[in-house]
Copies of this chain bind each other. A is one copy, B any other.
Amino acid sequence: MKEFEMIRRFFTEQVIKRKDVLLGIGDDCAIVSPSERQNIAVTTDTLVAGVHFPHQTSARAIGHKSIAVNLSDLAAMGAEPTWISLAITLPEADLQWVEEFCVGVFELCEFYNVQLIGGDTTQGPLSITVTAQGLIPKAKHLSRSGAKAGDWVYVTGEIGDAALALKHIFNEVVVEAEYLDSVRKRLDYPRPRVLAGQALREYASSAIDLSDGLLADLGHICEASNVGANIVLDDLPISNALRDTVGLEKACEIALAGGDDYELLFTVCEDNKVGMETALANTGNTITCIGQINRSAKITSTLNSKSVPIRAKSFEHFASSTD
């Protein structure tokens, strides 16, 4: 059997068979049949070795992450993930690598009932492009553009640990052994906030997932919504690992600027606050209110109730998404 046929076989060996997939992998196209009352959310993200993950990252982690970052985009719109198309470019037909990669892909797909419906396997420098799709009840999708002055700014989970892991890998800091495993997991195995996103459909005025860093992504919401925001640095949800490793001040900088958190950042009006907090608690997600939207055209911050300059720089890399 040719090696590429063996690789193709790995991708067909998935457990999930959705009823709305009429034709899966194996023809010129997949055929899907969405419900009549739902719109479809579509997102595409590419991961390039050495740009989006360190070269030494395990195949399983790369598989996990390539799916997770796309499910995170779907979560930010409030979509229920359904179908994945996966294009993988490999330097060589390394069957063991692909098998481990598929473990990472399929464990996340199975957890969220997502079916791999097609893709492409080509030879070249390692990169993975995933197009993920999801369903949303009509007129219920979240976007970046609905934040209004007075809305509260929330974030799920803790932020900054993925950036800390990168700094550890690049020998900029040393993370103690007791924290290293959990910090590395935040970088290699991000958990997309899929259920939180769906719960937010009824409550949030805007939402985005944290991929470029809190400051940059809050900037995207402010720009799209034509508002400003103030962040209360005292309230940033920072892990013990991050605080103990670099101290509070530097931890705030990393939490503001570091990317790859894949938490949800969202805004909620005063009237929806209690309902949202109850709904999110039911999904098992922790949330933290970190500031408030205002009418200014900028992002400011306070510490101990005093205005302080934002020292972190927005993270800008060539590898920017068009969506």
Q: Which B residues lie within 8 Å of A36 (CB)?
A: 36
A122 contact set on B, CB distance < 8 A = 46, 48, 51-52, 127, 318-319
Q: Cβ of B32 and Cβ of A40 under 8 Å apart? A: yes
Q: Which residues of B contact A129 (CB under 8 A)?
A: 44, 46, 87, 120, 129
Q: How far is the CB of A196 from chain B (nearest CB, A)?
A: 14
Q: Which residues of B contact A121 (CB under 8 A)?
A: 319-322
- Chain B residues whose C-beta falls within 8 Å of the C-beta of A205 in the assembled complex: none
Indicate if A27 sits at the interface (CB-CB under 8 A): yes
In this assembly, does A86 line the interface, its C-beta being within 8 Å of a C-beta of chain B?
yes
Inter-chain contacts of A40 with B (CB < 8 A): 31-34, 40
In the assembly, what is the distance between CA of A89 and CA of B28, in Å? 24
A39 at the interface (CB under 8 A from B): yes
Known: A131-B44, A318-B4. A31 touches B39 (CB 8 A): yes
A23 near B: Cβ within 8 Å?
yes
Whether the Cβ atoms of A323 and B26 lie closer than 8 Å is yes
Give the complex CA separation of A118 and B129 in angstroms: 13
Q: Which of A88-127 contact B (CB under 8 A)?
A: 89, 93, 117-125, 127
Known: A46-B120, A77-B28, A131-B44. A141 touches B23 (CB 8 A): yes
* Interface residue from B22, B85, B123, B124 paired with A131 (Cβ < 8 Å): B85
Taking the complex as formed, is A11 at the interface, i.e. its CB lies under 8 A from any CB of chain B? yes
Distance between A148 CB and nearest chain B CB, rounded to angstroms: 17
Q: Mark A29-54, 1 if CB is under 8 A from B, else 0.
A: 11111101001111111101111100
Q: A79 near B: Cβ within 8 Å?
A: yes
- Taking a contact as CB atoms closer than 8 A, the residue among B86, B120, B317, B323 that contacts A29 in the complex is B323
A30 x B4 contact (CB < 8 A): no
Given contacts A23-B143, A122-B52, A144-B27, contact A86 B319 (CB under 8 A): no
A208–B41 CB distance below 8 A: no
- Return A316 CB to nearest CB of chain B, in Å: 6
| A189 on the B face (CB < 8 A) | no
- Which residues of chain B are near A45, meaning CB under 8 Å? 87, 120
CB nearest to A134 among chain B residues: B29
Q: Does chain B have a CB within 8 A of A138?
A: yes
> A188 interface residue, CB < 8 Å from B?
no
- Given the known inter-chain contacts A48-B124, A124-B125, A323-B120, please indicate yes or no for A42 contacting B22, CB distance below 8 A: no
Contacts A/B (CB < 8 Å), 20 sampled: A25-B323, A27-B224, A28-B43, A28-B77, A29-B41, A29-B79, A29-B134, A29-B141, A33-B39, A42-B131, A43-B85, A44-B86, A46-B120, A87-B87, A118-B323, A122-B319, A123-B319, A124-B127, A125-B125, A129-B129
What is A's interface to B at a CB cutoff of 8 Å?
A: 2-5, 8, 11-12, 22-23, 25-34, 36, 39-46, 48-52, 73-74, 76-77, 79, 83, 85-87, 89, 93, 117-125, 127, 129, 131, 133-134, 136, 138, 141, 143-145, 207-209, 224, 316-323
